[in-house]
Amino acid sequence: MNRSRREFLQKLTMSSMVLPIVSTYTPQWYGPLHTDVQGPVLRVALMGLGGYAQRVADAMKDCKRAKVTGLVSGTPAKLKEWGSKYNVPERNRYSYETFDDIKNNPDIDAVYVITPNALHHDNVIRAARAGKHVICEKPMAVSVQEGQEMVDACAAAGVQLLIGYRMRFEPNTLEIVNRRNAGEFGKINFFQGQCGFKIGDPNQWRLNKELAGGGALFDIGIYAINGTRYMVGEEPVWVTAQETKTDPTKFKEGVDETIQFQLGFASGAVASCLSTYNMNYLDRFYLNGDKGFAELWPSTGYGPIKGRTHQQPLNHPHIAHQTIQMDEMAAIILDGKKPVLPVDGTTGLQDLKIIEAIYRACATGARQELKLV
């Protein structure tokens, strides 16, 4: 057992001794902490060797159940550099032209698609047709239609499609979910999600509608959308939204700068969220119930995540989110493990339905009804 895990279990033991004094709730850790580290290893090819792919690759060095065994890039120099850095042999390095040959490579079980949003659709379908499981970064596509085609293609090929929702495995986040499920916060009334930062280079692909599909909502606002669903614990049934644009030169037509959106739930709970590319220091989730509250601040950054409830702070030690994510996804693919919070293609498709409804609400000024289940 490594040192960080041993320290975590020691803290968990101490917290379980204290909790009965302040609450009748006893934590149930059936999330990433119980991954079978002795099981088989998921062999993963990374597609799209940009900044986030490097973060994933570096985090996977500490994985017990997942390993980088393949690389896909349109830049030969990157394939050589990354191949050397991550010990990936030349036979497992592919260009986008040769990628389909991956179907004949027994060293690769899954492809992690980390390309610009608009490329996800074709990349995922090609990987599925090659008989490989697929992990796709969020957002899974730039439209509901594309997302559905991806889900259908993976089902037809008999492979799994998972979406890179790393926060759905994060320990502080899961503790709040477990406490909510145990009734500690009572009836949930309200959620607030604030996600944003000032984006830099105006020429980057994230500000190109053809590659990004939109603007801040696709990139950062999706955290609030997805977070609303797992924090409240039910699916929204309506949405309203308002868009603000102060710099139409930087944020061209179809690239949103700032959107405020509100979600309503059948239980009567409501959510108020902000997505922006023009404000810093916005990374906060707040959940309110009639018996208590929970807060994450920061809530979705690369960490460490900080949290508290009406009773006590949340103090899980920081482990790279992608390390936990990839070990957990290996257990899902190889062992059939059912995660606490789903990360499958259907979950990603539901987020796309909400995103499209938000854009419609901005365009029309009218409330949009949602039917996600």
In angstroms, the first-to-last Cα distance of the chain is 41
What six digits make up the tokens of 255?
């690239």
Q: Is 274 helix (H, G, I), strand (E, B) or coil?
A: strand
What six digits make up the tokens of 13?
């033991």
Taking each helix axis from N to C end, the angle separating 51-60 and 321-335, rounded to the nearest 10 degrees, works out to 70
Tokens 């990004």 -> residue: 212
Instruction: Please name every residue paired with 192 in a beta bridge, in sequence order, or none if there are none.
Output: 272, 286
The answer to whether 71 and 366 are in contact (CB under 8 A) is: no
Instruction: Give the number of other Cβ atoms within 10 Å of residue 248's Cβ.
Output: 10
What six digits make up the tokens of 125?
């379908």
The reply to whether 223 belongs to the active site is yes
From the list 132, 138, 230, 359, the catalytic residue is 138
From the list 86, 223, 230, 359, the catalytic residue is 223
CA-CA distance, 366 to 203, in Å (whole number)?
33
The reply to whether 138 belongs to the active site is yes
Phi, psi of 199 (to 5 degrees): -80, 150
Helices (H), 33-159: 51-60, 76-85, 120-129, 144-157
Percent helix, strand, coil in the chain, to 5, is 40, 20, 40
Residues with catalytic function: 138, 223
